[in-house]
Structures are given as C-alpha cells and as structure tokens.
Chains A and B, each alone.
Chain A
C-alpha cells in the first residue's frame, strides 16, 4: 500500500498580476520503507511541494489536490486541525540551512526537548523532566552526536552546519515519524559532511524502516541513496520511476539532459570536452510558457508541446511528454496517436 499518495497537487501564488500556478498538477506517491528522491533545479517547486505536504506554507500560497491520501486515510475529508495533528505526528521535515531553522536564542537542549511529545513519557510529572533529558540524550546519540552535554548547552550559532543538521534530524526523529521529508539537507555543506548526513539518513531508513522523501538538485549524488526518483521541472511533473530507470533509461528530454550533464554518466566522454546542457535557463514565475514548460528549451519540442502532455505509464516508469525517448521500437504502438504522428 502507498504510504503517501498525492494526485494532481497544484500550488498557486497570489501576485499583483493575478494568480500564478507555481506547481502544476504534480503527482507523488511514496511506498512504505522506500527512499524517494525528488529532483529538480532550484525554483522548480520541490521545496514548495514538500512544505505543502506538511502544511507549513504561508497564507499567500493556495494548495489544491485531487487526491491526498496518507496510509489510506483521505486527508481532504478531514478538517484542517485533524489533518495537521495527523501529519505532524507521522511526518517530520528537515530543512535546508539548518542553522537558520533553529531558534537562535534558545538552547539546543530546550528545542529538542519541546519536540518530544508528552505521551511518549511514562511516569509521574516529577519524573518527566529527568525522562525528557534522557530522551534528548538518546536522540542525540542516535544521530551520532557523542558530546551530548556540550551540545545541549549550546546555542545554534556555536555549532557547525553539519551538527545543526544532525540536531534537526534528531528533532525530526523525536516524533518517531513514519516519513521524513529532507529538503536539501546538505545544501552548502562540505562533501565529507554531506556523505555523513546521507549515510545517517540511509541508516535510519534501513534500521527503522522509515520512509524518506529526499529533495535535491543533484541527480547524480541522489542515485546512491534512493530507490525511486521523481523529477520536476519548473513546477511540472516530468518523470518518475526507479533509480535505475531514471538514471540509465531516461525517457523525458529533460531527464536525459540532467543525466548527460553529470560527469559520472559520461565517463566515455573525452577529457576537456564540454558537458551536454540545455540552452537557456529555467523560466521565471511571471513568464511561464504554456503547455509543457520545458517547451522553449526542449530539443525535441514540436507544435503539440503547447498543450500540456498527459502522464503515460511504462511499467511503472511514468513520464509526462508527448515525445518520450524510447529505446525499444516495439513500444511505439502503445503511445498515444499523437506521439506516433510526431515521432521522427
């Protein structure tokens, strides 16, 4: 059963010149115990999507979805308070720039202990304080911080980015979540500490069977840690499938370009030659192209690309393109008539 099942989630922003569709009908599903990657350039709406799932977007953003199921419960039928209570209990989130996500004037220990739910503590109220402290220390050990006393009595600015991110993970773990959303957890970190954080997340996934939604702009790095990947471009769904499918047999021109722009997939490339990139840059929110938003930059774009493509499914490999890159010629017939017409 799917842990999280979102269908056609849209996020709109109120601007002086009318509403802008920042995230356009994106679907996302996460199975129990899997690590799903969410890849896209900065500004492609990945963080928005994550924040919309957990419900911490500001009021100026308007979220709609056709379906929003959490472990079989239809969240759209619940009231906002019930939904928030349910999601806060089961989903935790860690943010990019951990330093700014910790209250600068509160001690780390205090911030950790307030994340621990009272219902987790057994015993009478005079024992609670001691239990809380023990729980805090246990959480810090879990995320690999050994000097717990020093850490508890520090302010965020006294710690390094990596330790702050570990503290954020500890705070997220305090609620014993089923799904952890990691929004670029290693942005602006050194590669050694990046590896540590990713290994910690992978351990948590394997030992606690915790599902993780890993958001990143770095497709190549992500492939080491994820089971499945969803790719987004400029607020639109691009492609979803298992890590091997996405990395080895990308069907969407955008994913193809992403993979080609990484050095690892291009080992056969002669040294000092240029990497493949798409021309242009990601469109700004005020001037979004109609239809498929990749259109103006896409090497395979044709006239039909001005209308948004439907998602087609090839053995669980979903792609949203009129002209997907297909390796097997036998598959051609299964594509919609438009595709056949437009192909080569």
Chain B
C-alpha cells in the first residue's frame, strides 16, 4: 500500500510539474510582456516593473525564470487578475468550492442513476427494457448541454416555476463564507433560518446538477451495462449458479461487486468530461464557480487568470483521478498485490 501511495504521489508531482511548465510557457505565447502576463499587473509603474522583473528573475536564463515562477505558485501567489486587479488566489479560493460542490453532486447523481440503470439493462439483456434504456442513453448522450440547460430553465423555471433559474442561493440568506461549499457553510452557520436556506440552496442545485449529470449518466449506463454483461458471462457466475444460489443472491453478492470494480476506474476518466460540462453549465445557470470565471476571463483576455485557472482546474481533476485509483485499490483485492504461493 505504501509503494502504491508513493507511486501515485510521484505521478502527481511530475504531472503537476509538466502542467506548470505549460502554464509558464503560456506567458510567453500570449501577447504582451511576459512579466505582466506572469503577474497580471497591467498598470505597473516603472519602479514596480523593475521590481517585478527582479522578482521573476527576468534578467537570468529561462530555467531561473521557471524556478522563480514555480516558487511563486508554490507560495500560492498566482498574480493579479488583469480585469479586476485583485489577487487570483483569493478569487479561486472563493470560486473553486462552488464548482467542486456542483460537479460532485452531479457525479453522485450520474452514478446513482446511471449505474443501476445499466445493471438493469444488462440483466434484461436483449429484452425490451434493455433496448429502451439503451436508446434513452443514446438520446441523452446526444443532447448538447447548453441547449438542455436553456430548455430546463424554460420548462422548470419559467414554465412551471418550480425551481430557480440562476445563482447558488437566494440573496435573502446571508451565509458566512467558511469552507466555500455552500451546504457545509449553511450547516455550520448559526442563522435561525438555516433550514430554509438549506432548502433554498438544494432547490438551486437541482437544475444545474441534473443538467451536468445527464451526459456522464448515459456513459455510466453504457459502461455498467457492458461490464455487467461481461461479469454475468464469467465462469464464477456459472459456478455460483451450479452451487444453487438464487438469481438475486448471485447478482447482489457476486455480480454487482465485480461489475462496480470495473466501473470505478472509468469514473475518474469521466470526471474530467464532467467538469468541462459543468463549466458550460455554470455560465447558463450563473453559478458562481470557477468555470464561469474562467470563461469570463477568456472573454476579457485576462491571461493571468486563464493560466492559473487552467492550472487549478487540472490539479483538481488530477486529485480526483488519484482518489478513484485509491477507491479502486480498496475495492479490488487483485490490485492490492501481495500474492502468496503459485
């Protein structure tokens, strides 16, 4: 387990190094002065500029420049946003938790809906329910997310008036910023209207989370169907049938566990896809997350923000990847190694 952890850690460190290299090179590729792209201080005076040049070691060779950039990032200094002239680290601190919250809730919905549906389709292989589920999955996968978001707002917010169309929580509630994840903050606050706020935040969450969850859910349906069909054809399932176990016992004791293990690996991969969808959805639902901020900064040509936003988002996705690897290892005895005999 220790070697497993160390290997994942070294992988993490080297991937992050490559990512910083990429974001470092972006400063040279973007138009404008490299130092200003690094720091984001567009209105710097001559003395400030000289100071920045010294801090980012622009007079030395490119390797020293990279080291200086790296040390800034490791100290949590991403520079200033060119648009708002406020430190980017503060903005990320404020915005990233909202995206994490949205994408994790969406991932949960996608898994809770997609995986059982896929299992049902696999068990009823080549029957009507299988075909219905598969064609629904195909349909859901083909719907573009921005169109679906607008449609959902049109139907559920404007037409039926059930759910709010924008924002994370109603402006009536004043929730102190602690973790940034809205649900935790609400539970931590001592406002007398805590539960109303909680209900309001949930109502705000439902539409964007479902819109984000749709495409990954359809992928999970296909993945879980394929892996369940494979597991059901395995010889240990036949042996379990010969043992005299009932169909339910076979499914719940043997098939689901083995099928889930194969799916868990793909969850990490799908998460990157899900975050991309979440970025688009944040714009539609005015969700105060990092995706909307990143797209805004692309419009405003806020190069510093683009660089650091990319770095932070990819770091987040990579951490989720590593976490799913750990969950996979915990669930699958074969991945844990330590074999005796044979």
Interface residues of A, Cβ cutoff 8 Å to B: 51, 54, 56, 58, 88-89, 92-93, 95, 97, 100-106, 114-115, 117, 154-155, 157-161, 163, 168, 171, 174-175
Contact across chains for A114 and B236 when beta carbons are under 8 A apart: no
Contact across chains for A106 and B257 when beta carbons are under 8 A apart: yes
Distance in Å: Cβ of B330 to nearest Cβ of chain A: 11
Contact across chains for A157 and B333 when beta carbons are under 8 A apart: yes
Distance in Å: Cβ of B198 to nearest Cβ of chain A: 38
Given contacts A103-B254, A106-B254, A159-B341, contact A168 B244 (CB under 8 A): no
Given contacts A93-B242, A114-B253, contact A160 B236 (CB under 8 A): no
Contact across chains for B243 and A105 when beta carbons are under 8 A apart: no
Write the B203-242 contact mask toward A (1 if CB under 8 angstroms, else 0).
0000000000000000000000000000001111011111
- In the bound assembly, the distance between CA atoms of A115 and B341 in angstroms comes to 25
Which residues on the A side are within 8 Å of B245 (C-beta)? 114-115
Which residues on the A side are within 8 Å of B241 (C-beta)? 56
Given contacts A89-B244, A158-B339, A160-B341, contact A104 B334 (CB under 8 A): yes
Write the B304-342 contact mask toward A (1 if CB under 8 angstroms, else 0).
000000000000000000000000000111100011111
Write the B23-67 contact mask toward A (1 if CB under 8 angstroms, else 0).
000000000000000000000000000000000000000000000
Which residues on the B side are within 8 Å of A174 (C-beta)? 243
Which residues on the A side are within 8 Å of B332 (C-beta)? 105
Distance in Å: Cβ of B243 to nearest Cβ of chain A: 5
| B interface residues, how many (CB within 8 angstroms) | 27
Which residues on the B side are within 8 Å of A104 (C-beta)? 236, 258, 333-334
- In the bound assembly, the distance between CA atoms of A58 and B232 in angstroms comes to 10
- In the bound assembly, the distance between CA atoms of A114 and B261 in angstroms comes to 22
Choose among A89, A97, A160, A161 the residue that contacts B235 (Cβ–Cβ < 8 A).
A97
Distance in Å: Cβ of B154 to nearest Cβ of chain A: 46
Which residues on the A side are within 8 Å of B341 (C-beta)? 158-160, 163
Closest A residue, CB atoms, query B331: A105
Given contacts A114-B253, A155-B333, A171-B243, contact A101 B236 (CB under 8 A): yes
Contact across chains for A88 and B342 when beta carbons are under 8 A apart: no
- In the bound assembly, the distance between CA atoms of A88 and B93 in angstroms comes to 62
Distance in Å: Cβ of B209 to nearest Cβ of chain A: 31
Closest A residue, CB atoms, query B232: A58
Closest A residue, CB atoms, query B338: A158
Which 4 A/B pairs are nearest by Cβ-Cβ distance?
A88-B244, A101-B239, A155-B333, A93-B242
Chain B interface main SS type: helix
Distance in Å: Cβ of B3 to nearest Cβ of chain A: 18
- In the bound assembly, the distance between CA atoms of A280 and B53 in angstroms comes to 84
Contact across chains for A105 and B257 when beta carbons are under 8 A apart: yes
Contact across chains for B342 and A105 when beta carbons are under 8 A apart: no
Which residues on the B side are within 8 Å of A163 (C-beta)? 341
- In the bound assembly, the distance between CA atoms of A155 and B342 in angstroms comes to 13
Contact across chains for A115 and B243 when beta carbons are under 8 A apart: yes
- In the bound assembly, the distance between CA atoms of A100 and B236 in angstroms comes to 6
Distance in Å: Cβ of B130 to nearest Cβ of chain A: 14
Closest B residue, CB atoms, query A181: B242
Tell whether B90 is near chain A: CB-to-CB under 8 Å. Answer: no
For the complex with contacts A88-B244, A105-B331, A106-B253, 8 further pairs of A-B residues with Cβ separation under 8 Å are: A54-B242, A56-B238, A58-B233, A95-B239, A104-B236, A104-B258, A104-B334, A159-B342
- In the bound assembly, the distance between CA atoms of A105 and B331 in angstroms comes to 8
Contact across chains for A175 and B244 when beta carbons are under 8 A apart: yes
Contact across chains for B342 and A160 when beta carbons are under 8 A apart: yes
* A101, A161, A171 — most chain B CB neighbours (10 Å): A101
Which residues on the A side are within 8 Å of B243 (C-beta)? 88, 92, 114-115, 171, 174-175
Tell whether B286 is near chain A: CB-to-CB under 8 Å. Answer: no
Tell whether B249 is near chain A: CB-to-CB under 8 Å. Answer: yes
- In the bound assembly, the distance between CA atoms of A154 and B242 in angstroms comes to 22
Contact across chains for A103 and B240 when beta carbons are under 8 A apart: yes
Distance in Å: Cβ of B254 to nearest Cβ of chain A: 5
- In the bound assembly, the distance between CA atoms of A54 and B341 in angstroms comes to 33
Contact across chains for A101 and B244 when beta carbons are under 8 A apart: no
Which residues on the B side are within 8 Å of A160 (C-beta)? 341-342
Contact across chains for A157 and B334 when beta carbons are under 8 A apart: yes
Which residues on the A side are within 8 Å of B239 (C-beta)? 93, 95, 101-102, 168, 171
Which residues on the A side are within 8 Å of B342 (C-beta)? 159-161
Which residues on the A side are within 8 Å of B238 (C-beta)? 51, 56, 95, 101
Which residues on the B side are within 8 Å of A114 (C-beta)? 243, 245, 249, 253
Contact across chains for A103 and B242 when beta carbons are under 8 A apart: no
